[in-house]
Amino acid sequence: MQWKELDAAHLAAAMAAMEPSLRREHRERLTRLEMQREEAQRQHEERRHRRAHNRRMGELIGGTVVALGMLGGGVYVAPESWWLSTLLCGPSLLALAKIFILGRSDPDDMKLVARAARTSTNAAGQAQPPQPPVA
């Protein structure tokens, strides 16, 4: 309402006087927005790192449980069937621990597991005593 009462010369002078203030306010607003954007980016990165850490810890715990379970199973069945024990405690244990804990698998790992399984199965087939006759 006050601006409509001014003539063109006074209006131009008033606008010229306000311009530095408006520029400063604009820069402040842009700086504030940039800081908010950086804070949001930082929070996003922090959440991403936290999720990656939690996933990695889950993989380590899972790998440890699998490895300990296979070792325990191998020790438990060792007196009855040594060949099953070699399957549980041999290259398959190392391959699964590598997959779960390190998060990678090489083609050679599975070849070693297959070879160990074949060797153990062949040895068990040759070493088994004959079945007693059923009466």
Q: What pLDDT score was predicted for residue 51?
A: 97
pLDDT in tens, the chain (135 residues): 666 777 778 778 878 888 899 899 999 999 999 999 999 999 999 999 999 999 999 988 988 898 899 889 888 988 887 777 877 887 778 777 887 777 777 777 677 777 777 776 676 666 555 566 665
Where exactly are the structural domains of the chain? 7-124
Give the DSSP letter string of the chain.
--GGGS-HHHHHHHHHHHHHHHHHHHHHHHHHHHHHHHHHHHHHHHHHHHHHHHHHHHHHHHHHHHHHHHHHHHHHHTTT-HHHHHHHHSHHHHHHHIIIII----HHHHHHHHHHHHHHHHHHHHHPPPPPPP-
Site of tokens 């007693």: 132
- What are 109-123's pLDDT values in tens digits? 677 777 777 776 676
Q: What pLDDT score was predicted for residue 134?
A: 63
Average pLDDT, the chain: 82
63's tokens: 């790998």
Q: How far is Cα 77 from Cα 109, in angstroms, rounded to an integer?
A: 24
